[in-house]
Amino acid sequence: MKVITVSNIKGGSAKTTTSIFLTEALSRRGKTLVIDLDMQADLTDYYLPESTPESLDKGNIFRLLIGESDFASCVHKGKFADVIPGTIDLANLTSRVMQSFSILKRLNTILKENPDYDYVVIDTPGSARSELTVSLVACDMILIPVTPSKWAIRAVNILLDEISNAREITNKEHKVCFAPSMFGTSQKHLDLLERIHSLEEFKTFSPIPKSEVIKTNSEKRKVLKAGSKGWEAYDRLAQEVIDYL
């Protein structure tokens, strides 16, 4: 089992979009689980569009982390992959962590006890919250989607501080990689891409092209058409992730 956390503390970084379509591509290569650790639950809405909040009350990642549900009860069948959904209850996770710091390691332990998946993808919140720490402790790779924004590099530096804190908990060296996302051909975009590549201590994967289709399909809970430009980009990303792991 290989666990990939998709994270960037900057909003609008294509984090959930990357999680969705990377999961879809990985599911063509092996049994895949996706975990929604973001209280916004956009990934949950994509993979479980017919589910109501009430139907997810007992079987979700928050209940799993605080020990009120078991793994099997929290896994739902979604498009292409199994899903452990996120809910608004994750807003209470930090207060629970303050009562018991062992929660930070619980997802790591649970995944080791349930090794039936080839790949696990974790979507995370756009902030340095306890959910992010939980995901960093559990993962083998941190995949950082970076969009062409002037704040992109600074946001990455803050995330790297969070990764260092997680390493103190686990004493594990994560693989940290960049996934340039929604890059066009303008000089501004090319200059930022060059800056990302200049961070030689981290792997940079092939960029995901700027595409309204990718954004629209994510928002409308549609799959990417097989063989389309976006489909091929995420398929390539999935293979690059596997090869690097």
The rounded percent of the chain whose pLDDT value lies above 70 is: 99
Q: What is the pLDDT of residues 24-61, one digit of tens each?
A: 999 999 999 999 999 999 999 999 999 999 999 999 99
| Structural domain span for residue 41 | 2-244
What is the tens place of the pLDDT at every residue in 180-200?
A: 988 888 888 888 888 888 877
Domain count, the chain: 1
What is the CATH classification number for the domain harbouring 234? 3.40.50.300
pLDDT of 84 > 90? The answer is yes
For every residue of the chain, DSSP letters joined together read -EEEEE--SSTTSSHHHHHHHHHHHHTTTS-EEEEE--TT-HHHHHH-TT--TGGGSSSSHHHHHTTSS-HHHH-EE-SSSEEE---GGGGGHHHHHHH-TTHHHHHHHHHHH----SEEEEE--SSS-HHHHHHHHH-SEEEEEE-S-TTHHHHHHHHHHHHHHHHHHH----EEEEEEEEE-SSHHHHHHHHHHHT-TTSEEPPPEEP-HHHHHHHHTT-PPPTTSHHHHHHHHHHHHHHHH-
pLDDT in tens, 6-22: 998 877 788 999 999 99
pTM of the model: 0.93
**Averaged pLDDT of the chain:** 91
